[in-house]
Structure 1
Amino acid sequence: MKIKWYGHSCFMITSENGTKIILDPYISMLGYKLPELEADIVATSHEHSDHNNINAVKNDFVHINKPGIFSEYGIEIKGVDTFHDKVSGAKKGKNTIFNFKVDDINVCHCGDLGHILDAKQVEEIGNVDVLLIPVGGGYTIDATDAVEVVKQLKPTVIVPMHYRTKALGPMGLAFAKVDKFIDASGLKAQNYAELELNKENIENYQGIAVLKYK
């Protein structure tokens, strides 16, 4: 599979047979710009406009935006109910974590997770090989809490998202830089334009994979 980051919390996962999954497409106010996108599956973690702009995807697709068990295009998908804050959604509402089984690799996208997971949520999410996790704080978990979630889910590859980059301009001041998460984790980090993973090579990418915007 290939994993490409489009900034913020938006990714495209492309399976070996060409099935495309778009995660949390955003509106253009963020400073990032989405290219023309097509996908077979679009998953959105919650209903905030910087995560649910499904109009950015131009073709027909299956839209998944709630907890549950799904199977689309031969891909197993599990949505797990979580919250956007530390007070059971009282301030920012609910958030869905999605775990996708693609090419026999489990890719977990945390959306705008706002808290450390409880034991039931960890069990529901299940095995995680690649974790796409917010680390910038402000609107989500911060670097310290992100490290705890990594310990809970025990992924092989960790891809940080939702942190400050130059593309965000002044809006980026609401987030911490990715370096804070890397330092807090104590793990090795490598930069990649995109990831190309399979069951045979995934151990070679162990640790933090920082994907480049564009």
Structure 2
Amino acid sequence: MPLPRAAALLAAVLLSLPLAAAPGAARAQAQTDPVPSKCLAIAQALPSVTYASYVPAQATRTSGEVTITYAGHSTYVIESPGGVRVATDYSGIYGRDPLPRVVTMNKAHTTHFTTSPDPAIEHVLPGWNPDGGEPARHAVVVDDVYIRNVTTDIRRFGTMEENANSIFIFEVADLCIGHLGHLHHALTDAHYGAIGRLDIVMVPVDGGMTQSLANMSEITTRLSSSIVLPMHRHSTPMGEFLAMMGNSYAVDYRAERSFTISLRDLPRRPTILILQGV
């Protein structure tokens, strides 16, 4: 829950401290961001967390409506009230018209990244470090959008490659929107703490290429988002994922590929929103 207004200064101080990591979870990205996050959990007593609400002067965040469009595969296009377009898991196939200002990518497969993005794209954010070494680290403000990442591992040829995937978090119009990428393993308490609150989460539901539906439904449930957007479905029947999620979630099938949402319009009952084409 948001902290009272009187505690905003305390929240800013607390957000400057590193998150406490669970044993064995040192790889979870929990360092301090240069811009304090409105969605970031203060990990005081994981898995219980307290959420801080603090608007940094560095980012011109505004309230208003965000438009989200399912472009294809794992690509959603997020458009901010200020007109910033962001495409997730961008391969150059989906979400390129009109060209986004920001793209995020993951390298599990070539359907999630491109080695030759259009040079007119202002910000290309790979979920891994192309130079190796330290994990990818993004904390980018583009007008009214703040984008950060939390790294995870991916499977490659039977082994796990550390920090090769990123969960990207988009903070826009007071909403916290997360994209799980090509997530290959369970999340630790430290991961959840680094992610923080997610009002909207984009979840792969392929049932095996990332993780089983049972594992993905467990992760999705713990994130406690108001809106769940399935993606990366392939041939998996949607009904299987819905059954795993249970009756506590409403289900909303849409005939359109896009919807518009604001913080005040989030559904009271958690909802799995299935856009046309998913």
Same fold, TM exceeding 0.5?
A: yes
Distance 1:189 1:54, change over 3 A: farther
> Which residue pairs with 2:72 in the alignment?
7
* Contact persistence 1:44–1:52 (CA under 8 A): yes
* Contact persistence 2:184–2:211 (CA under 8 A): yes
> Which residue pairs with 1:39 in the alignment?
100
2-side partners of 1:101 and 1:35: how far apart? Answer: 22
2-side partners of 1:54 and 1:13: how far apart? Answer: 22
Structure with greater proportional helix content? 1
Equivalent residue letter for 1:126: G
Whether 1:189 aligns to 2:251 is yes
Q: 1:199 aligns with which of 260, 263, 266?
A: 263
Q: 2:275 aligns with which of 208, 211, 214?
A: 211
- Specify every segment of 5 or more residues in structure 1 that has no aligned partner in the other structure, as ranges: 165-171
Equivalent residue letter for 1:210: I
Q: TM-score, normalised by structure 2?
A: 0.65
> Which residue pairs with 1:167 in the alignment?
none
The percentage of aligned residue pairs carrying the same residue is: 21
Cα deviation per residue 1:62-87 (whole Å; 9 max; x = unaligned)? 11113332222232112101122499
SS at match of 1:96: strand
How well do the aligned residues superpose, as a CA RMSD in angstroms? 2.7
Whether 1:61 aligns to 2:122 is yes
Q: 1:81 aligns with which of 151, 157, 179?
A: 151
Q: Measure how far apart 1:157 and its partner are.
A: 0.4
* Contact persistence 2:76–2:95 (CA under 8 A): no
Q: Measure how far apart 1:120 and its partner are.
A: 0.3
* Contact persistence 2:74–2:232 (CA under 8 A): yes
Whether 1:49 aligns to 2:71 is no
Q: Measure how far apart 1:204 and its partner are.
A: 6.0
Q: TM-score, normalised by structure 1?
A: 0.82
Q: 1:26 aligns with which of 80, 83, 91?
A: 91
* Contact persistence 1:69–1:77 (CA under 8 A): yes
Equivalent residue letter for 1:133: V
1-side partners of 2:207 and 2:240: how far apart? Answer: 10
SS at match of 1:203: coil
Equivalent residue letter for 1:17: G
